[in-house]
Amino acid sequence: MERLRRIAVAIGAGLVRWAGWTARHRRAMLAGASVVAVAGGGYIGWWWLAARTVERAVAEWAAAERALGGTVALQSLGLDGFPLSLRATVGAFSLTRSDGAAWRGDGLIAEAPPWHVTRPAFRLVGTQQIVISPPDRPPVLITARSGSGRADFALTGGLVEGLVRLGGVTATLPTLGLGDAVLTIAGFDAAFKQADAGPKVPADQVLNYRAALTDLEMPVGYRGPFGPRIQTIAFQGLQHGYLAGLAPAALEGWRGRGGTIDIESLRLIWGPLSMTVSGSLALDQELQPTGLLSADVAGALEAVDALVAAGLLREKEARLARSFLTALTLGARGADRPDAASPTGAAPVRLPLALRQHALWLGPFKIMPLPRINW
């Protein structure tokens, strides 16, 4: 009987302790659930606030463009992606600026984490068309079949860094005098970044640019001096000074403030010619490019022959150029410049080039005239 009493007491004490443990943990679980609920509600509020911020930014941008004389039309704007993403889906859209430039597309999708909405990645949907309307000249139409990229905006709204990749690009170039001449580009990449994202006065702004074209096919009926296909054009450089646009007044202001372009690398592979150029460019009094360049060139003699055949270089000038190139080639024999290797295997040579007086110069020799740029 005594044993049964002791067993009953032990069971009762155990039940009391179990009930106490359960109550304490129940309170802890309820407290944890409350914290999760509050945090979840706060995150939902943050996501909603970020979505409304995007909507407001798009509306303010459209209003600003219309105030400047442009037009903006969006078929639709949808926001989703909760909880781990903020995704904006734009239907068919069109943007036309007051200067006649226009962008029309089938759609666009931009996506970013809700806690970092200033760094969206984007994807272009369907066909995109860009129209450039130079003054007193027929418009240029650029079409892309695919595209993607990313952007990085400052908290004040300015674009600090950007990247865009386009595929299946065609460009209609009526200015070549060949009717609706169409140029095709297999791939196009471009990027820019402010070298210093902090506050700067316009004269001190520095932008880093990078761009590359691959497999550029000339329009039918237009071969160019080195053949109908440019295999590669790649550029990397720095722009010194703020440039508000390509209008003559903006260019005048940029030139007056000492604006320059530092070419860190300009790579060109076109037929027999392969070259890598570096140097600095500015604008002269007529807003035409001027500057001193250094070029590692392979296939230079073949290029001179091609310029003569195309009627861009007279035979007398070509003979002098060949003598000059031969002397430089002999002086540079044995130099290791793999970056300028020619597709034909021709040895590279370093050449002093200059842009001045609407022409390209090789040392003292005027190699070819350059078309005037009508800004």
> Is residue 181 within 8 Å of residue 221, measured between CB atoms?
yes
> Is residue 264 within 8 Å of residue 237, measured between CB atoms?
yes
165 C-beta neighbours (distance < 10 Å), count: 17
CA distances in angstroms from 92 to 58, 61, 125, 327, listed in the order given: 15, 17, 9, 60
The pLDDT of residue 157 is 65
Residue 339, C-beta contacts closer than 8 angstroms, at least 6 positions apart: 267, 276, 296
The pLDDT of residue 15 is 41
Q: Which helix (H) or strand (E) holds 360?
A: strand 359-362
SS3 157: coil
Amino acid at 19: A
CA distances in angstroms from 93 to 40, 51, 88, 164, listed in the order given: 35, 20, 13, 18
List alpha helices for the chain, DSSP H.
Answer: 2-67, 248-256, 300-309, 315-331
State both tokens at 155.
């908290």
SS3 161: strand
Amino acid at 33: A
128 C-beta neighbours (distance < 10 Å), count: 21
Give the angle 289-243-279 at the CA atoms, nearest 5°: 40
First to last CA, the chain: 112
The residues pairing with 102 across neighbouring beta strands, listed in sequence order, are: 96, 131
The pLDDT of residue 7 is 47
CA dihedral 325, 328, 334, 340 (to 10 degrees): -60
The pLDDT of residue 4 is 43
SS3 242: coil
Q: Identify which of 180, 274, 273, 268 has the alpha carbon closest to the alpha carbon of residue 222.
A: 180
The pLDDT of residue 41 is 63
- What does the pLDDT profile of the chain (375 residues) look like in tens digits? 555 445 444 544 454 454 454 555 555 554 554 544 455 566 787 788 888 888 888 888 889 888 988 999 999 999 998 888 889 999 999 999 887 889 999 999 999 988 888 899 999 999 999 998 776 777 888 999 999 999 998 877 677 899 999 999 998 876 555 556 788 999 999 998 886 544 455 556 788 989 999 999 988 777 778 888 999 999 999 999 888 777 888 899 999 989 999 999 999 999 888 999 999 999 999 999 999 999 998 888 888 888 888 887 888 888 888 887 787 766 555 444 444 555 555 567 888 899 998 898 988 888 778 888 877
The residues pairing with 261 across neighbouring beta strands, listed in sequence order, are: 239, 281
The pLDDT of residue 188 is 92
Rounded Cα distance, 327 and 330, in Å: 5
| Torsion-angle region of 308 (φ positive above 0: left; ψ -120 to 50: alpha; else: beta) | alpha
Which residue is it, tokens 């497999």?
A: 215
Rounded Cα distance, 116 and 156, in Å: 14
Which residue is it, tokens 């979505």?
A: 51
E strands present in 257-324: 260-270, 273-283, 289-298
